Structure 1
Amino acid sequence: MSEPTGALSPEDSARVAALAADLAREGRTAELLEFLEHGVPVDLADGDGNTLLMLASYHGHAETVAALIGRGADVDARNGRDQSPVAGALFKGEKAVVQALVAAGADLDAGTPSARQAAEMFGTQALLGVEPDGER
């Protein structure tokens, strides 16, 4: 039996998912939004559980992060290693990304390590508005 008109084969679906992940990783916001407009789920995840938001966050693409948040991306979706987008952004020292995720309500205590733990480990507490000694 053939697939309905417009349906993608599993191979084509995998290709689309890989392309969307690359767009998020590269911060190609406009192109990524076109994929979403054509039905790619905003919380699409790769084989390691990295969502489009995680990939954009980790690679420091604040505009893409904001666009994904605006489309309803789950700011607390953790990957297969229990890492959150905000913890990844803190690890990389991505201030604008951290600010966008925190403003969208990211849970700073979720994941392993949590965002708070990651900030402490990598000396990026200032990105959370906390001084290294723990005072605000």
Structure 2
Amino acid sequence: MSDDIHYEAWGDRVDPALLEAVRDGNVPEVLRWLEDGLPANWQDTEGCSLIFLAAYHRQWAVIDSLLAHGASVDLPDRMGWTPLFWAAFNSHADIVSFLIGRGANPDARTNDGEWPLFWAVYKGHTAVVRYLLLGGAKRNQLDVDGHDELWLARTLARQEIVTILEGQRTRHMTHPQPGNSDGFV
């Protein structure tokens, strides 16, 4: 997946006026489509949803309108990428923060078992790592090879991220959560 949406791929699946309304943040026009029967969780054949397109264009009011009409903030595409995963992968910290604030799951996994925090660490997206952790992303999840995000940050010499992750680990070890005997959350 890239940081590029090819609108011609959507053209034969939905009226271009709807796509333009989402891109432009034209909430009344998007609402008209919903009132005319378009499902709030509509997806193209690749699984790309209207929330995904709105997130790509940072159209916060459109996202809120779609959510108010029952759309899922975590609706994945065919590869299992949610809008939050895409934003984390592409270093869009503002979108990550916004989507988490709207209830997006910071630990949603793709079909390949990937998750936002691991990719943010891999790509060195420090601000995204911070927002994911503030948004409740679980630490110490393991990839298929048994590696967690701290191992990855150390391996890639992402010192600022190592410091963030070690700080999270230390804080949770010194202030264990109720019901968690090992101190990790």
Structure 1 pair 40–13 and aligned structure 2 pair: CA distance change class (3 A)? same
Structure 2 equivalent of residue 28 of structure 1: 58
Structure 1 equivalent of residue 148 of structure 2: 114
Structure 1 pair 65–38 and aligned structure 2 pair: CA distance change class (3 A)? same
8 Å contact from structure 1 (residues 83, 114) kept in 2: no
Give the TM-score taking structure 2 as reference length: 0.57
What SS does the aligned partner of 1:106 have? coil
Could you say what the CA RMSD is over the residues aligned between the two structures, in angstroms? 2.9
Aligned partners of 2:137, 2:104: CA distance in 1, in Å?
A: 11
8 Å contact from structure 1 (residues 29, 64) kept in 2: no
Aligned partners of 2:81, 2:49: CA distance in 1, in Å?
A: 12
- 1:1-136 aligned at under 5 Å gives the runs 6-8=36-38, 13-15=42-44, 17-24=48-55, 26=56, 28-30=58-60, 31-112=62-143, 113-129=147-163
Give the TM-score taking structure 1 as reference length: 0.74
Aligned partners of 1:115, 1:14: CA distance in 2, in Å?
A: 31
More RCO (CA 8 Å, sep 6+): 1
Aligned partners of 1:46, 1:87: CA distance in 2, in Å?
A: 19
Aligned partners of 1:13, 1:130: CA distance in 2, in Å?
A: 38
Aligned partners of 2:161, 2:107: CA distance in 1, in Å?
A: 18
The offset of 1:99, in angstroms, is 0.4
Percent identical pairs in the alignment equals 31
Aligned partners of 2:57, 2:118: CA distance in 1, in Å?
A: 18
The amino acid across from 1:43 in the alignment is: D
The offset of 1:105, in angstroms, is 2.2
Rg larger for: 2
